[in-house]
Amino acid sequence: MTETVAIPLKIHLIRHGETEWSLSGQHTSRTDIALTAQGEQQARELGQRLRGIDFTRIFTSPRKRAQQTYALSGLTGVSEIEPDLAEWDYGDYEGQRSADIRAARPGWNLFRDGCPNGESPAQVCQRVDRFIDRLRASIGDVALFTHGHLGSVIAARWIGLSITNAENLPLATASLSVLAFKANNAGVPVIALFNSR
């Protein structure tokens, strides 16, 4: 009788490729803009790095830029649209740059203050924690195609940090991060790779 060994969960956290607004630094949540030509090329190059990985599940944000990044990466398999992977809802700050927001509201910090008529840090944290709890039931390699700020929150919450610490974990466009468990202690979540391009 052979014993079945579960394959440990390894999350490949992928930020979408460049858009006009990521290039200009504008906060982009609900605005559904496509990748730039450079963003499309970034997605194809990212796909080269992901080739050969047998993903057990692939999740994408409902936003076009994340779905486009997945499609252009050339991964095989059907992706699942996951509402919890949508970018932070910036509310009244949609389309604005952080510097412009701080000019009107000195000291503003997304991860501490949230956005008027958008999501609070507590709401985003609850959404991310809920999704991570669901992910922990998965095994093997899982891909998440998501966004900059939400991806930072996922990384912070994966290792048990406060959402305010997500500010210290910025993600570049078309970057790859890997969230896993410590090799000699499967109960300890780790960031095995971060913001790699």
11-48 tens-digit pLDDT: 999 999 999 999 999 999 999 999 999 999 999 999 99
**Buried residues in 115-144 as b, exposed as e (16+ CB within 10 A):** beebbbbeebbebbbebbeebeeeeebbbb
Closest CA to 11 of 131, 111, 126: 131
Are the C-beta atoms of 62 and 127 separated by less than 8 Å?
no
| H-run or E-run covering 144 | strand 141-146
Q: In this predicted structure, what is the pLDDT of residue 186?
A: 78
The answer to pTM > 0.85 is yes
pLDDT at 1 over 80: no
**Residues sharing a CB contact under 8 Å with residue 180, sequence separation 6 or more, in sequence order:** 8, 9, 10, 11, 189, 190, 192
Secondary structure of 12-65 as H, E, C letters: EEEECCCEHHHHHCECCCCCCCCECHHHHHHHHHHHHHHCCCCEEEEEECCCHH
**Candidate list 18, 40, 82, 87, residue with the active-site label:** 87
16 is catalytic: yes
CA–CA dist 162, 29 (Å, integer): 22
Dump pLDDT digits (tens) for 141-182: 999 999 999 999 999 999 999 999 999 999 999 999 999 999
147 is catalytic: no
pLDDT at 183 over 90: no
CA–CA dist 80, 59 (Å, integer): 5
Dump pLDDT digits (tens) for 96-125: 999 999 999 999 999 999 999 999 999 999
pLDDT at 4 over 90: no
Position 149: which residue type? H
CA–CA dist 118, 177 (Å, integer): 27
Measure the CA angle with vertex 139, ends 136 and 141; round to 5°: 105
Q: In this predicted structure, what is the pLDDT of residue 185?
A: 84
According to DSSP, the residues that pair with 180 across neighbouring strands are: 190
Topology classification of domain 10-196: Rossmann fold (3.40.50)
**Candidate list 12, 16, 27, 147, residue with the active-site label:** 16
What does the domain layout of the chain look like in residue ranges? 10-196
**What's the rounded mean pLDDT across residues 184-193?**
91
Q: In this predicted structure, what is the pLDDT of residue 141?
A: 97
